[in-house]
Amino acid sequence: MIKSPRGTRDLLPPDTALWNFVEAAVRDVFRAYNFHEIRTPIFESTELFARGVGEETDVVAKEMYTWYEGADPDTTLLGAWYQQRHARYAGTVRRTAAARQHISIDISGGSDTYLVELKRRPDIGVVDRLEARKHAWLASHPDSKPPKLILAVPTSEADRAKRMPLGEVILEALSVEPGHESPLSLTLRPENTAGVVRAYIEHKLWDRGLNKLFYIGPQFRRERPQKGRYRQFYQIGAEVIGPAPSGSESPARDAEILELLATLLDRVGITNWTLELNSIGCPADRARFNEALRQALAPVVEKMCADCQRRAVTNPLRVFDCKVPADQPIIETLPTITQFLDEDCRRHYEEVKSILNAVQIPYLENPRLVRGLDYYTRTAFEFTHGALGAQNAILGGGRYDGLSEALGGPAAPGIGFAIGEDRLVLALTESAELVLRKPDVYIAPLGAGMNREAARVARELRRHDLVVDLGDESFRLTKSFEAADKMGARYILIVGETEVAANAFALKHLASGEQVTVPRAELAQRILQK
């Protein structure tokens, strides 16, 4: 039997009715706040997420579904490497990461580790990159031999590469057919903010005054599946983005987004949520904070998990993403970002809180909330819900003032959020009663030629917004009754030769058993009456 892949699932009725209810309610709320829908592709260039979300985040480093497309792999640098070099290393490829311009490979076998960069047009940056990878690798494997660093380039580039200050980097030349670009690397979107900001830049949405956008759709992350965590999951999200003069930088936008969320959760029937709020400052604050974290981590980091050891070197802020229980007491002792906010960021944060107070939205300040994605600045938040258990974050979001520039666009401060729709629905299932609209009437065609007549009657009734289902002229009447019962229809309508000739039909109310003959012209009215 073929089953749905691990971490994915089928959404079936009656649950889909709840999903539709949620989405309809959410669309109403977005309309009231003047948000408009955007639909971006389900896959994008890998580079968008590497640059937009951050290479060191768990999402990008471990969880993306990525593949190559375009050039024939046998004629690309990666293909050439596999053909010409791979067999020489007595090891396993642990990781291949590719952006458009370079490919990184980790190989470990026996006591040796090789860190490889493939680069069609090598520049000095690639040597720095190898050095940085070596440091990160050593930090997470403290007792091991240093890895060997390898730069593989096409033969035609080898002479140029030799003239670069290579240090300990070993150069390898690969014969590659000329003129073939490296394959295009594509990724299933693990989140939608980067895609929305890309579209904002690509279509110059600032020119059209479109700066409040929402989306509803699937996202993909290769996480360990469990209740409330899937590999294909759905997010409902929104972004306010635009040039600073449009007001996109104002703390009023942050407060509006948070108030919208409170309204939205209330509207769909989620009570007992908690809003956790923090400010993670601007890049300058973060640089000071990261430095303080590095110092605070230095004496304790060896007691922490391998991921934290790597983070402590590459991006200390990400230590707060750690879920390992043994690390938590150490994380508790680390400094918090609050002490490092500059005057502007502090004022921004105070203003957000004062508007929230004015509109009576309760919140809990959590100075350790940093969110798992690199692009956030200033306001960061999560709404949690008790009934969800371990995966209790129902939504998260924050401000991302530098994201557009990081993706090559103009300055465009913004703030957004993503609700986990699966978790929202899960929280509702705990409380809500599912109301599926059942058929108003089941039409039972009786005898040869009656499918045609039944189809005509069904068409007339459906025009009156009735829910109608149909049997088949080959069914005996008892079979039609059983079918009508099973689907919970209110009425059964019999369409036989006599009825058609008289232009009046037998209509039976299934619960009471009461049966009447109703002229064709009055059928819809009669059924609508209940």
Residue numbers at the binding site for ligand AMP (CB under 6 A): 191, 221, 223, 228-230, 233, 235, 372, 393-396, 418, 420, 422-423
Strands 273-279 and 103-109: unpaired
Q: Which residues contact 431 (CB under 8 A, 6 or more apart)?
A: 269, 387
What is the rounded CA–CA span in Å between residue 213 and residue 229?
Answer: 26
Measured in residues, the chain has a length of 530
The DSSP-derived string for 341-376 is --HHHHHHHHHHHHHHHHTT---EE-TT---SSTT-
Least Å distance, CB 177 to ligand AMP, is 40
Smallest distance, ligand AMP to C-beta of residue 67, A: 20
In the complex with ligand AMP, which residue's Cβ is closer, 49 or 68?
49
Minimal CB distance residue for ligand AMP: 420
CB of 191 to ligand AMP, least distance (A): 4
Q: How far is the CB of 462 from ligand AMP (least distance, A)?
A: 37
For residue 411, give the amino acid letter.
A
Of the two residues 104 and 193, which places its CB atom closer to ligand AMP in the complex?
193
Cβ closer to ligand AMP: 68 or 417?
417
Residue 349 token pair: 């944060």
Minimal distance, residue 326 CB to ligand AMP, in Å:
23
In a 13 Å sphere around the CA of 417, the CA atoms on its Cβ side amount to 27
Of residues 235 and 278, the one with the C-beta less far from ligand AMP? 235
Distances (CA, A) of 366 to 33, 377, 379, 444, 452: 27, 15, 11, 62, 66
Residue whose CB is less far from ligand AMP, 161 or 380:
380
Q: Which of 221, 253 has the CB closer to ligand AMP?
A: 221
**Are the CB atoms for 59 and 136 separated by under 8 Å?**
no
69: CB partners within 8 A, 6+ apart? 183, 184, 185, 186
Beta partners for residue 277, in sequence order: 365, 381
Nearer to ligand AMP, 43 or 82 (CB): 43
Terminal C-alpha separation, the chain: 44
| Minimum distance from residue 290 beta carbon to ligand AMP (Å) | 21
Q: What 3-state class would DSSP assign to 300?
A: coil
In the complex, the smallest distance separating the C-beta of residue 382 from ligand AMP, rounded to whole angstroms, is 6
The 3 state secondary structure assigned to 214-253 is EEEEEEECCCCCECCECCEEEEEEEEEECCHHHCCCCHHH
Closest distance of CB 412 from ligand AMP, Å: 20
What lies within 8 Å, CB to CB, of 357 at 6+ separation is: none
Please give the angle made by the CA atoms of 36, 205 and 43, to the nearest 5 degrees.
75
- Residue 279 contacts by C-beta under 8 Å, 6 or more apart in sequence? 337, 338, 341, 345, 346, 348, 349, 352, 378, 379, 380
Token pair of 241 as six digits: 């983005």
Nearer to ligand AMP, 258 or 494 (CB): 258
Neighbours of 222 (CB within 10 A): 16
CA 336 to CA 83: how far, in whole Å?
50
Would you say 115 or 199 has its CB closer to ligand AMP?
199
Residue 157 or 276 having the CB closest to ligand AMP = 276
CB 415 within 8 A of CB 253: yes
Residue 400 vs 481, nearer CB to ligand AMP: 400
Cβ proximity to ligand AMP: between 425 and 444 the closer is 425
Closest residue by Cα to residue 436 from 510, 493, 512, 487: 487
**Which one, 75 or 392, has the nearer CB to ligand AMP?**
392
Dihedral angle of Cα 390, 395, 401, 403, to the nearest 10 degrees: 80
Please report how close the Cβ of residue 45 comes to ligand AMP at its closest, in angstroms: 19
